[in-house]
Structure 1
Amino acid sequence: MFEAQELDCVFMETHMNPRRRQHMVLECIPLPKELGDMAPIYFKKAIMECDEEWAMNKKVVDLSSKSIRQAVPRSLPYFAVDFGLQGGFAHVIENEQKFPHYFGKVSGCFETLTRHASPWAFFFRFFFFLVTIQ
């Protein structure tokens, strides 16, 4: 569907509060091809900076060779991002109260960002502007 429009897509999955049986959130964001090629770099950097420095679990779990179900234990909250055929990354959320609820959110066609948008989201806004004016 997106290939005909020359777009890539990024899938983001957030699973919080598994003990309270909350539902997970799965989002699909279409991106211009140029931005889709750069997205793994920026998501990995954002995941590395998002949580506590000293954690019991690995900061970034590579999903290129295994699925999220094999990489993250069942009872733990997590954030995962997938880049289609390129694989993706996962992050086990150590402290749900400190983890930003807006992590991974890109709002309104990149033109307006929420006031709580993470720093890497500003790159998406700037890059989308450059792509649209060319």
Structure 2
Amino acid sequence: MFDAEANAFPITATSGDWTAPLSEIRVGQRVWDNNTLRVYAENNELQTYYVVELSRHDGQPITPGTYTDQKALVINKSLGCYDNTADFTVERLDIDAEGLLTAFDGAVEHRCGPEPDNALRVKVHFVRGDA
């Protein structure tokens, strides 16, 4: 589920609740940087995708908890914006014995620039299909 205010960027003035089968959600850690959590959402009907990457300024791994003023990158197709003051909450983060993320529940608030009404709020629920 996501809600982008009128001046949010790169996802602007839209909201939605993307679920299967029209949408595919993947959540994982970047291969080269296990301290960055990556959410990829693709909507086949709208022929678009969004990416949200979360990481901590101190470089430590993300674990369940609430984080304020941290790093978030949001991408809409080829346009992106970093927010170094994003807030996010991780309610569930399950990783299997092989180091693969199997379940995630969390939320993020991202802002791009100083304009008013520029928040993007995202809630993610993910469970790996074979988990």
TM-score interval (norm. to shorter): under 0.3
Larger Rg: 1
Higher strand share: 2
Higher helix share: 1
What TM-score comes out, normalization by structure 2 length? 0.27
What TM-score comes out, normalization by structure 1 length? 0.27
